[in-house]
Amino acid sequence: MLARPAGALSSEQGGAEPERPGVDDERHPHEQRQLAAEPQSQEARLPRDDERLDRRRRGQRPVGEREEHEPGERMTGGVGEQALAIPAPRAYAHPQPQRERVERRLDREREQQRDEVAAHPWRPVAETALYVAVAAVLAVRAPLLASVVGLMVLGILHNVLELRYVLARWSGTFAGSFRWAVLGLVTVIALGRLAGAPARRVEVVAGFAILAAGMAWGARRRPVLAAAGLPLTVAAGAVAWTHLDHYFVAVTYLHNLVPFVFLWDWSARLAGRARAAFRIVQVGWLLVVPALLLTGALPVPALASQHVSFAGPLSGHVATVAPPAWRGPEAARLLAVFAFLQVLHYVFWCWFLPRRSSGSPRLPRWAWASVAALAAVFACGYATAWTGTKLAYTSLASYHAYVEYAVLALVVFRPREATA
């Protein structure tokens, strides 16, 4: 124990406190007042401090003092023990973005299709050759029946599948303001078709405007090419304006020939002789078989022998495939050519290309159910009111027909590296 100061003893005895020399005289007045106000507390701290020092020397923790921890020990001790008592949260798998799932699925499909093509490079050649042979037989035996039944069964479906393929294959090309401009012009055409013959010239103007827009948008970085293509488009539009019947017949045939371009593009994944053979088959159905039908090398039935009771008058079918000057006996051959190309058109869009299109989005079940319901409605309409149903279908089909024309014009006039 420390001895009390002499000044403290004298104060307890009632004597006056002597003046403190040295350091005490230099204290700040505030400190002197504080010491004078708390003399007992200052003296009481001394024994407690001595007791703490003695307990530390003996290796004991002083009374009232918290246990010291190493850095991080307190967090890993008490908190860790408490954390063990807390049940682990239920595992939750964050959903992957839709785009990533679709891209992974498309990548898998592309790999599977590449493997299939590599393992069986000649299968597409044999398959398309078989389609050509079957279509030729139908065109020779019953062209009108093949055309009517094909439209009833596959008309709506091929619209959906064709749009799905074209928009997926050239999604980066047919986009932005160009897409909205084309859709607006096609809507004008669809409404004009519902109005009938008085609005035929509206379709001519809108159709060539779509073609010009595709050329201009595709060749916007190549003004020389655009300067060469746009005058030709204007000249063709002027000819169509003065020869409406020829224009609409030509549009009907051109629409059935469009799959040739997409099949040629698809064949790039084939290699060597298989690709050459595949393209020879495509040229065969594009040029050779129609030439055989037109020249009489392949016999076709006469118009009088062809009749489908619910399909309206035969003259309406002939007017679709032949201009007025060619509606005599030669119209039977034009009808056979049209039926041949239409059957292949349906087969390519409804079977061949969908099975090999890795980039097409997968439609949900409700979409397929809607397509099936719409197809059933049109099929019943064809059986009961052919003319009115055909007019409604022609209006609806404007979208898939003219969208593909716009995309083809854009792709042809776009730089090669942009379409790869």
What residues make up the domain containing 380?
130-418
What is the band of 121 on the pLDDT scale with cuts at 50, 70, 90?
Answer: confident
Q: What is the pLDDT of residue 218?
A: 80
In this structure, are residues 338 and 253 in contact, taking their beta carbons and an 8 Å threshold? yes
What is the band of 29 on the pLDDT scale with cuts at 50, 70, 90?
Answer: low
In this structure, are residues 113 and 356 in contact, taking their beta carbons and an 8 Å threshold? yes
Token pair, residue 97, equals: 């973005």
Q: What is the pLDDT of residue 148?
A: 95
Q: Give me the amino acid identity at 248.
A: F
Q: What is the pLDDT of residue 12?
A: 42
Q: What is the pLDDT of residue 420?
A: 40
> Out of 92-106, 167-181, 275-289, 326-340, which region has the weakest mean confidence (pLDDT)?
92-106
Q: What is the pLDDT of residues 381-416, one digit of tens each?
A: 999 999 999 999 999 999 999 999 998 888 777 755
The answer to whether residue 56 sits within a structural domain is: no
Q: Distance between CA 342 and CA 150 in Å, rounded? A: 8
Q: What is the pLDDT of residue 47?
A: 53
The answer to whether residue 40 sits within a structural domain is: no
Nearby residues of 169 by Cβ (< 8 Å), 6 or more positions away? 262, 265, 357, 359, 360
What is the band of 67 on the pLDDT scale with cuts at 50, 70, 90?
Answer: low
Considering the entire predicted model, what is its pTM?
0.70
Q: What is the pLDDT of residue 103?
A: 45
> Out of 79-88, 300-309, 367-376, 392-401, which region has the weakest mean confidence (pLDDT)?
79-88
Q: Distance between CA 227 and CA 238 in Å, rounded? A: 17
Q: What is the pLDDT of residue 174?
A: 86
Q: Which residue has the tokens 């055309």?
A: 147
The answer to whether residue 202 sits within a structural domain is: yes
Residue (of 156, 114, 175) closest to 349 by Cα position: 156
Q: What is the pLDDT of residue 90?
A: 52
Q: What is the pLDDT of residue 74?
A: 46
DSSP SS3 for 250: helix
Token pair, residue 85, equals: 């008592």
Q: What is the pLDDT of residues 193-241, one digit of tens each?
A: 999 888 999 999 999 999 998 888 887 777 777 778 888 899 999 999 9
The answer to whether residue 114 sits within a structural domain is: no
Rg from Cα positions in the chain: 45
The answer to whether residue 280 sits within a structural domain is: yes
The answer to whether residue 23 sits within a structural domain is: no
**Alpha-carbon dihedral sign for residues 350, 129, 344, 262:** positive
Of 312 and 2, the structure prediction assigns the larger pLDDT to 312
The DSSP letter of residue 360 is S
Whole-number mean pLDDT of the chain? 79
Q: What is the pLDDT of residue 312?
A: 85
Domain count, the chain: 1
In this structure, are residues 43 and 4 in contact, taking their beta carbons and an 8 Å threshold? yes
Q: What is the pLDDT of residue 59?
A: 60
The answer to whether residue 250 sits within a structural domain is: yes
Q: Give me the amino acid identity at 185.
A: L
Q: What is the pLDDT of residues 82-97, one digit of tens each?
A: 444 455 545 444 445 5
In this structure, are residues 300 and 140 in contact, taking their beta carbons and an 8 Å threshold? yes
In this structure, are residues 157 and 368 in contact, taking their beta carbons and an 8 Å threshold? no
The DSSP letter of residue 323 is -
What's the mean pLDDT in 67-75? 47
Residue 343's Cβ-count burial label (10 Å; 0-12, 13-18, 19+) is buried
Q: What is the pLDDT of residue 307?
A: 85
In this structure, are residues 68 and 77 in contact, taking their beta carbons and an 8 Å threshold? no
Of 139 and 120, the structure prediction assigns the larger pLDDT to 139
HSE toward the beta carbon, residue 317, CA cutoff 13 A: 28
Q: Distance between CA 351 and CA 128 in Å, rounded? A: 11
**Alpha-carbon dihedral sign for residues 53, 55, 59, 61:** negative
Largest CA distance in the chain: 150
Residue 351, pLDDT above cutoff 50: yes
**Alpha-carbon dihedral sign for residues 197, 198, 204, 207:** negative
Residue 165, pLDDT above cutoff 60: yes
Alpha helices, DSSP H, located in 243-396: 244-266, 272-283, 289-295, 314-321, 331-347, 353-356, 365-384, 386-396
Q: What is the pLDDT of residue 62?
A: 57
> Out of 62-66, 135-139, 248-252, 411-415, which region has the weakest mean confidence (pLDDT)?
62-66
